[in-house]
């Protein structure tokens, strides 16, 4: 049994916020992989299903971001899980938009949702870090993460969501590289072949022989 947690804030007011990209991720996985309808549980919303051979529970805490750990801890105790069974999907300021990275254990880097989870279950859980970029100055961070994604960001955001869904079974199986490759195939797909052969390289023109005649010889040639 795996517990995958998407971080965000509950309610329509926050639904499109950058801070809610974790909610968006687990919503997409639930939809694409036929998980059960979302139901109330563990101070949040829960959906259950299978990814490959693994049973996975998806959790969206409704405690607001700063108290996410309460919901996660409650779900873990119910299913008798350990931190290694938990994967948290969260926004990451220190990654460029569209970048996705995996991390096991370590600090919370000031992220309030992770800070709360640390306090309730420790740090030995996995994270899927979803890059949203940085506004450039720490004083602008709060407004930035609590603002909606811009329309211009829609394409890369959708690509990331598709990639997370494509790689979900690999992530559940513990194959991090294959999961990240699935994301990369969506975010930066290889250029398709056009089927048109490149023209053959043309040989370089043969240089003209050097003119070794003297000025007098050239002048005499003109009057012949």
Number of domains, the chain: 1
Task: Give the alpha-carbon dihedral of 20, 26, 28, 33, to 10 degrees.
Answer: 180
Greatest Cα pair distance in the chain: 109
* Residue span of the structural domain in which 63 resides: 2-151
pLDDT in tens, 81-139: 999 999 999 999 999 999 999 999 988 878 899 999 999 999 999 999 999 999 999 89
Helices 154-166 and 21-32 pack at an angle, to 10 degrees, of: 50
Residue 206 has pLDDT above 60, yes or no: no
19 catalytic? Reply is yes
Give residue 197's pLDDT. 47
Rounded Cα distance between 110 and 101, Å, is 17
Rounded Cα distance between 15 and 146, Å, is 10
β-bridge mates for residue 6, sequence order: 89
* pTM confidence score: 0.83
pLDDT in tens, 11-53: 999 999 999 999 999 999 999 999 999 999 999 999 999 999 9
The tokens for 209 are 């022989």
Q: Is residue 169 part of a domain?
A: no
Q: Compute the mean pLDDT over every residue in the chain, rounded to the nearest whole number.
A: 90
Give residue 110's pLDDT. 81
Q: Is residue 206 part of a domain?
A: no
Residue of 19, 33, 90, 111 marked catalytic: 19
Rounded Cα distance between 111 and 94, Å, is 11
In sequence order, what are the residues at sequence separation of 6 or more whose Cβ sits closer than 8 angstroms to the Cβ of residue 61?
A: 5, 7, 42, 43, 44, 67, 68, 70, 71, 72
What CATH number corresponds to the domain at position 146? 3.40.50.1470
Q: Is residue 81 part of a domain?
A: yes
Rounded Cα distance between 22 and 88, Å, is 8
Rounded Cα distance between 6 and 25, Å, is 7
């Amino acid at each position: 049994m795996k517990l995958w947690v998407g971080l965000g804030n509950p309610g329509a007011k926050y639904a499109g916020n950058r801070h809610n990209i974790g909610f968006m991720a687990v919503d997409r996985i639930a939809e694409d992989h036929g998980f059960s309808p979302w139901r109330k549980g563990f101070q949040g919303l829960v959906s259950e299903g299978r990814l490959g051979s693994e049973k996975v529970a998806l959790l969206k805490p409704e405690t607001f971001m700063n108290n996410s750990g309460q919901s996660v801890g409650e779900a873990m105790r119910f299913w008798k899980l350990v931190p290694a069974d938990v994967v948290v999907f969260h926004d990451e300021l220190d990654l460029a938009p569209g970048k996705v990275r995996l991390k096991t254990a370590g600090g919370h880097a000031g992220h309030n949702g992770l800070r709360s989870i640390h306090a309730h279950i420790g740090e030995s859980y996995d994270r899927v870090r979803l890059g949203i970029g940085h506004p450039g100055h720490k004083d602008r961070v709060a407004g930035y993460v609590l603002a909606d994604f811009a329309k211009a960001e829609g394409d890369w955001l959708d690509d990331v969501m598709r990639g997370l869904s494509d790689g979900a079974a690999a992530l559940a199986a513990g194959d991090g590289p294959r999961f990240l490759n699935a994301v990369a195939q969506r975010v930066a797909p290889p250029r398709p072949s056009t089927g048109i052969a490149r023209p053959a390289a043309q040989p370089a023109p043969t240089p003209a022989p050097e003119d070794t005649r003297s000025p007098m010889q050239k002048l005499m040639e003109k009057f012949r």
